[in-house]
Structure 1
Amino acid sequence: MNALANLFSSSSLTRQMMEVSPSAVVVANHAGTILFANENVQQWFGYARSEITGSALDGLLPEISQRDDHAHSAHAMAQTPIDMEQGGPQRVVCKDGSEMVVDVTLVPVEEQSESLILANFSRSDSGTLDGQRLESERFDAIAKMISGLAHESRNALQRAVACLDLLELDFSESDRHLELSRKIRRSLSDLLENYDEVRRFAAPITLSRTATHLAPLCHSVFDELQRKCDAWANRIEIAGDDTDDDLACVDRGKFQEVFHQILDNAFDQPHGRVNIRVSHERTTIRNRAAVRICIHNDGQPFYAEALVRAFEPFYTTKQHGTGLGLSISRRIVEAHGGQILARNPDAGGAEIEFVVPRDVPQLDQAQRAAMAFPVAD
């Protein structure tokens, strides 16, 4: 029995090791002809030993013969001294004509006078990753389309509002027509707000971070919403000592939007007045120092479905709006490396909690004072 036959005999230690390998293993000669395949080749790809033995390795791995770099071809590998393993994610053609993506390692082996190629196939996540990348590319395309539509539709709505301005000059003596015009204006205004929200959702998030006290920022957004909604009966309480527990390095403008979305939802109560309590404390997230902010309102709790889907794009329980507010908030928080969740506390009402890394540099007393009490322009 020659050396090559001995290598693949049933008693050979090398063969036994290849047979028990958790991977699919193929051995080819210098010309790329397959000499041996273990049982996993049949289980994974559907080929019996008799079918694959004697066939060409590049028939199993079509990308090998398609590469411009011939140093990766089976024949060239056998003829060229190579110190490192070669390979990577590859398409394998299965017996039924389908394709499977696996990680392939091609190793040149010198067996006495015979040059061989060992091809080791292992399960690959590349197929999953390719699917995730494709899904991401589709989302990006949809986002660009939505952003473009929102921009163009916003321009059209603004032109419609300008036309209403002119029409109202002609309707100055007709109360009925003026009232209809005001209703149209309010509807157009709602549409403009919806398009702006869709545009913000579709736009990429870029951050400009500054050290920010989050509790006062939330309070200032609350005051703005009171003026906008004429909701002076609502009350807010900031719980916690006047310390740096709420200090984090975040994009101030982006977190204004987060607080706006959360508080706007809290304001939308069927029974009018709502009491809001904002608490803050230090915590950690993924072994990093962080800030936890809890915003509780004593209004209606979340519906059971809403607790699961609150941050899902376009999900809403309201008769108006796009259902993107909390989804935008989640994107902003996660862009900062944080997490956000909704819950119904035992005390009643509803609560939104988010945690963001602090990432705060060392600041002197004057800088801290400037953050807590920003100077008006």
Structure 2
Amino acid sequence: MEQIKLRYREMQRYVEWSENDAARMAEIEPLLAPHAQELIDDFYAEIQRHSEALSVITGGVTQIARLSRTLLEWLAQLLGGCYDDVYMEPRWRVGRRHVEIGLPQRFTSLALGRLRAGLTRILCDKWARPPRELTQALVSLNKLLDLDHALIQDAYETQYVERERMLERERGEKKFRHLVENASCLIAIVASDDSIAYFNPFAQRFTGYSAAELSASPEKMCDVFGGDRENIERRLSSVRNLHETSCCDVQMFKSGSPPRWISWTFSAIENIGVDTLVLAVGQDVTEQKRAVEQQLKSSRLEAIGEMYARIAHESRNSLQRLQVCSELLAEELAGNEACMRLVERSAQAQGDLHRLLDEVRSYASPIALEKTECRVSALWQEAWTLLETARKGRDAVLVEDMTLATNRPLLLDRFRTVQVFRNIFENCLIAGADPLKIQIVCQECRYNEVSMLQIRVSDNGPGFSPGAADQAFQPFFTTRSRGSGLGLAIVRRIIEAHGGSVAATNVTDRGAEVTITLPLDSST
């Protein structure tokens, strides 16, 4: 309303309205006021002759009587001599009311013109003073009527602008909704209280959560946006207050599925209501990260391969010479137990070096899968059988649980998949004390519309040492004095070559757990 008051004062300056004009209106009031009812009767009689104008009067005679009283007050104020903001405000609201009831704008101009003609006619008929003063009085009257007309026009224009803004907002919201409803990315709108005001269909399918579920559960919200609740709130508050875009990459964990990397971009949405909302757009960048990681791995493997090629030949020649020398020493020192123990330790060290070279070669070599139809349970059973010598004299059992999965054949490289389970079982046997229980639990799940087989291998050993689970699949990482650190790294390479993933963690009250996820679809 303050803007309207400013515009009204500008209108008064435009028509050069002055105190003299107000004084003249006070002078002509006694001439015009007695004829107000006559003007009102003519006003509504003319309206009733025009069906389009009459259509907005839905209350019949009763409404016309009420409107007549309102028009009488309007005329009294027009001739009242006081033309300040108090005078202006109700007149603008009358104009606004005409807009609200749907009266076409032309009828307000025509009706005011009819009143103008009636007032002019009466004033001329009743005027008894010099003609020059009549001219001045008519000028002041027309200025005032022009100002009233301008107020009515302003109400229509204001409504038009508001309507256009509303339509533009509706069009924008419709377009925005269409975009986000069909977007192939995660889109969330976070309200000022950090609740989720909107979660697009893709995000709901991707995470398995609705907006209501996220708002009701801080834990689920942390799953989606990454980090703890305090960090999320701090990030959202910073975006709202500083109006700066914030980006972060987080791992999203979903029960029964491998973790996915999501790149979130948070930005403020202004001019929608009172509060500043936060728009969060998330892109699944798991494949990009895997590609970058794979490129780094390839570069690293290439470097390892080059190094291996340089040292393997000479190393094996040296090892062969050591082996020959050890065998000759064994013949010469037969019967000398102390010396034979040293020879045996030397032979054992040579064997360790042979195995290390083989593992480096196996890790650095490109993986070319030879897939055949295999039942995965048969492969881990084969791996367990191959470790019969290592298990000899041990109290170690393998417990299998296939109740949540069908044991249907998968397209796998049999030799390499057996190697996967053998490497994992070997780690369990080395780390765990008797009685050792190794448990395998399989279950089928879906992730990103893909059917997956999840295989969890756990034991009742001591578990991973602090920080070891995060580095378990890094090449050459080991916590054992005689380990090469390539066993689980090879596991990861083989599983990822099959289009799957592998992760390690500790299980409360049980020990270590390695989770393998493989696609069930043979075309994956």
**1:194 lines up with 2:339 in the alignment:** no
**1:346 lines up with 2:508 in the alignment:** yes
Alpha-carbon distance in 2 for matches of 1:198, 1:360? 30
Aligned pairs for 1:1-377 within 5 A: 136-137=298-299, 139-241=301-403, 244-245=406-407, 247-269=409-431, 271-360=433-522
Who wins on radius of gyration, i.e. which is larger? 2
Alpha-carbon distance in 1 for matches of 2:352, 2:432? 20
User: Normalising by structure 2, what TM-score?
Assistant: 0.41
Alpha-carbon distance in 1 for matches of 2:293, 2:487? 28
Alpha-carbon distance in 1 for matches of 2:395, 2:331? 37
Q: 1:131/1:281 Cα in 2 relative to 1: closer, same or farther (>3 Å)? A: closer
Quick one: which amino acid aligns to residue 212 of structure 1? C
Alpha-carbon distance in 2 for matches of 1:289, 1:134? 29
The Cα offsets for residues 34-76 of structure 1, whole Å up to 9 and x where unpaired, read as xxxxxxxxxxxxxxxxxxxxxxxxxxxxxxxxxxxxxxxxxxx
| 2:387 match: secondary structure | helix
Q: 1:131/1:285 Cα in 2 relative to 1: closer, same or farther (>3 Å)? A: closer
Alpha-carbon distance in 1 for matches of 2:308, 2:461? 34
Q: 1:231/1:278 Cα in 2 relative to 1: closer, same or farther (>3 Å)? A: farther
**Contact preservation (8 Å) 2:377, 2:407:** no
- Per the TM alignment, residue 131 of structure 1 is displaced from its structure 2 partner at its CA by 12
The Cα offsets for residues 310-334 of structure 1, whole Å up to 9 and x where unpaired, read as 1111111111111111111101100
**Contact preservation (8 Å) 2:405, 2:444:** no
Alpha-carbon distance in 1 for matches of 2:297, 2:356? 25
Alpha-carbon distance in 2 for matches of 1:132, 1:267? 30
- Per the TM alignment, residue 219 of structure 1 is displaced from its structure 2 partner at its CA by 2.0
Alpha-carbon distance in 1 for matches of 2:390, 2:297? 39
Quick one: which amino acid aligns to residue 191 of structure 1? L
Quick one: which amino acid aligns to residue 423 of structure 2? Q
Q: 1:234/1:176 Cα in 2 relative to 1: closer, same or farther (>3 Å)? A: same
Alpha-carbon distance in 2 for matches of 1:130, 1:218? 31
Quick one: which amino acid aligns to residue 255 of structure 1? T
Quick one: which amino acid aligns to residue 215 of structure 1? S
The Cα offsets for residues 111-143 of structure 1, whole Å up to 9 and x where unpaired, read as xxxxxxxxxxxxxxxxxx999969854651332
**Contact preservation (8 Å) 2:507, 2:513:** yes
- Partner residue, 1:62: none
Alpha-carbon distance in 1 for matches of 2:429, 2:324? 31
**Contact preservation (8 Å) 1:171, 1:178:** yes
Give the number of aligned pairs: 233
Higher RCO, 1 or 2 (CA under 8 Å, sep at least 6)?
1
Q: 1:221/1:342 Cα in 2 relative to 1: closer, same or farther (>3 Å)? A: same
Q: 1:326/1:147 Cα in 2 relative to 1: closer, same or farther (>3 Å)? A: farther
Q: 1:193/1:135 Cα in 2 relative to 1: closer, same or farther (>3 Å)? A: closer
User: Normalising by structure 1, what TM-score?
Assistant: 0.56
Quick one: which amino acid aligns to residue 186 of structure 1? Q
Alpha-carbon distance in 1 for matches of 2:492, 2:292? 25
Q: 1:297/1:185 Cα in 2 relative to 1: closer, same or farther (>3 Å)? A: same
**Contact preservation (8 Å) 2:333, 2:339:** yes
- Per the TM alignment, residue 177 of structure 1 is displaced from its structure 2 partner at its CA by 1.9
**Contact preservation (8 Å) 2:376, 2:407:** no
Moved over 4 A (4+): 129-139
Q: Which of the two has greater helix per residue?
A: 2
- Partner residue, 1:79: none
The Cα offsets for residues 270-306 of structure 1, whole Å up to 9 and x where unpaired, read as 6343100111122235533222111110101112211
Alpha-carbon distance in 2 for matches of 1:154, 1:218? 32
Specify every segment of 5 or more residues in structure 2 that has no aligned partner in the other structure, as ranges: 1-290
- Per the TM alignment, residue 243 of structure 1 is displaced from its structure 2 partner at its CA by 6.9
**Contact preservation (8 Å) 2:505, 2:514:** yes
Q: 1:132/1:308 Cα in 2 relative to 1: closer, same or farther (>3 Å)? A: closer
Q: 1:143/1:193 Cα in 2 relative to 1: closer, same or farther (>3 Å)? A: same
**Contact preservation (8 Å) 1:246, 1:293:** no
User: Alignment identity in percent?
Assistant: 30
